[in-house]
């Protein structure tokens, strides 16, 4: 059976904060990117060239390969999804995974055969497989590691650091099987000049954060 080619596919970045926006901008230098956020005012600002996080150069916000949107329907144009939503701590000092669950449902509704979902949000080891993937399966009616695949690559951006940007910080990558780990590694290698470090499982990548 011929293996699916991820090299030519569009990318959707879900969540356009200090992690997601630089990621979307960097990938837009190589591919077409759907930059999605449920915050409509954030999308309107970005379309006007305004970034309140100040993580991206003004001239890079207007890439022709970059589409800013809060329209969930546009996500169906993509095969690769990168989820970068926040996971804040609640009053009980526990991780609030509500944003992550909502993003997983949104992406799950757009999954098709051979889709690849990569999580960057900070989570505890096991969260991707125990919480996120079941949501993807339920929302998509597809089977994990058969119809769609997952990866995890912890964000390592230091907000406000003007010298150590996304492209010059080594990226840890992983996948739900060996082939997918290799595909995730290839994907990030397109934009990470400092190189990537592939680990043997999603849980190890989660723990590395």
The structure's pTM equals 0.95
Q: What is the pLDDT of residues 177-197, one digit of tens each?
A: 999 999 999 999 999 999 999
Q: What is the pLDDT of residues 71-90, one digit of tens each?
A: 999 999 999 999 999 999 88
Q: State mean pLDDT over 97-116.
A: 97
Q: How far apart (Å, rounded) are the C-alpha atoms in residues 12 and 20?
A: 10
b/e code 158-188 from CB counts within 10 Å (16+ = b)? eeeeeeebbeebebbbbbbeeebbebbbebb
Q: What is the pLDDT of residues 118-168, one digit of tens each?
A: 999 999 999 999 999 999 999 999 999 999 999 999 998 766 666 678 888
Q: Which two tokens stand for residue 25?
A: 């901008």
CA nearest neighbour of 127 among 154, 158, 159: 154
């Amino acid at each position: 059976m011929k293996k699916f080619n991820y090299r030519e596919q569009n990318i959707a970045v879900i969540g356009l904060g200090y992690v997601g926006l630089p990621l979307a901008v960097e990938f837009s230098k190589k591919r077409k990117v759907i930059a999605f956020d449920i915050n409509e005012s954030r999308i309107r600002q970005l379309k006007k060239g305004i970034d309140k996080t100040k993580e991206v150069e003004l001239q890079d916000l207007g890439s022709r390969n970059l589409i800013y949107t809060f329209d969930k329907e546009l996500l169906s144009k993509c095969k690769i999804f990168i989820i970068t939503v926040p996971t804040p701590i609640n009053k009980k000092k526990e991780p609030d995974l509500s944003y992550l669950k909502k993003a997983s449902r949104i992406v799950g509704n757009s999954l098709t055969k051979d889709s690849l979902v990569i999580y960057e949000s900070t989570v505890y080891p096991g969260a991707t497989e125990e919480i996120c993937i079941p949501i993807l399966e339920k929302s998509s009616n597809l089977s994990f590691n058969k119809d769609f695949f997952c990866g995890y690559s912890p964000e390592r951006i230091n907000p406000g650091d003007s010298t150590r940007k996304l492209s010059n910080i080594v990226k840890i990558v992983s996948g739900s099987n060996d082939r997918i780990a290799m595909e995730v590694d290839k994907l990030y290698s397109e934009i990470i000049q400092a190189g990537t470090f592939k680990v043997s499982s999603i849980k190890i990548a989660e723990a590395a954060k």
